[in-house]
Each structure stands twice: as C-alpha cells, then as structure tokens.
Amino acid sequence: MNVTEQSNNISEHFDKEKHLIFGYTPTCGTCKVSERMLDIANEITKLPITKLDLNVLPEFNQQHEIQSVPILMIMSYGKEVKRLYAFQSVTNLLENLKN
C-alpha cells in the first residue's frame, strides 16, 4: 500500500462511534506480536480497524505526537479517546476496547 492509499485510509472509519487505528513499523518485532494480539481481540469486538505503516506517514506521527510503536488509538467519530503503547495481553487489550 502506498502513502496516498494509507493517507486515504486514515479517515475511512471516522463515521463510526468506535474504531481503531493501529500504527506499526514493518521491522518492529513487538509490533508483529501486538498486531496478532489485536487481531485475536478484534475477533471478539469486531471493531473497524485501520492499520498504518508509520514509516511512511511522518506528518501523521507529528500531528498525533506519536512517541513509539506499536500504538493503538481508540477513536470515536474521528477523535482520539484513548491510546495504548503497551498491549500487555489479549485480556488487557479487550478490557481497553470494551470501555
């Protein structure tokens, strides 16, 4: 997916009451583990999710003051309501997604 396609995807779910933006970098091992935990948790919650390679979106990183990866932004109608940098476990992730 190129930069333009990723940029267009960012606002794809802004019409939803709750949606997720998952930021990662392809070479990050923790990101791969976190993405798998997120995929498992999202099999239960079934929330719309946008996954972004933050290596190619420096403006997004700066605009949202992203400090590290992986990052999960829990969104409501395009506004950030919570962010997670450490997923810890699927159970912990589910708790954060349900609230």
- Residue 8 in any domain: the answer is no
What is this structure's pTM? 0.90
Q: Which residues contact 96 (CB under 8 A, 6 or more apart)?
A: 72, 74, 82, 84
- Residue 6 in any domain: the answer is no
pLDDT of residue 73: 97
Q: What is the mean pLDDT of residues 1-11?
A: 62
Range of the domain at 52: 14-98
- Residue 2 in any domain: the answer is no
Q: Between 17 and 9, where is the model more confident?
A: 17
Name the pLDDT band for 89 (thresholds 50, 70, 90).
very high
- Residue 41 in any domain: the answer is yes
Q: What is the mean pLDDT of residues 41-63?
A: 94
Cα atoms in the Cβ-side hemisphere of radius 13 Å centred on 39: 7
pLDDT of residue 10: 84
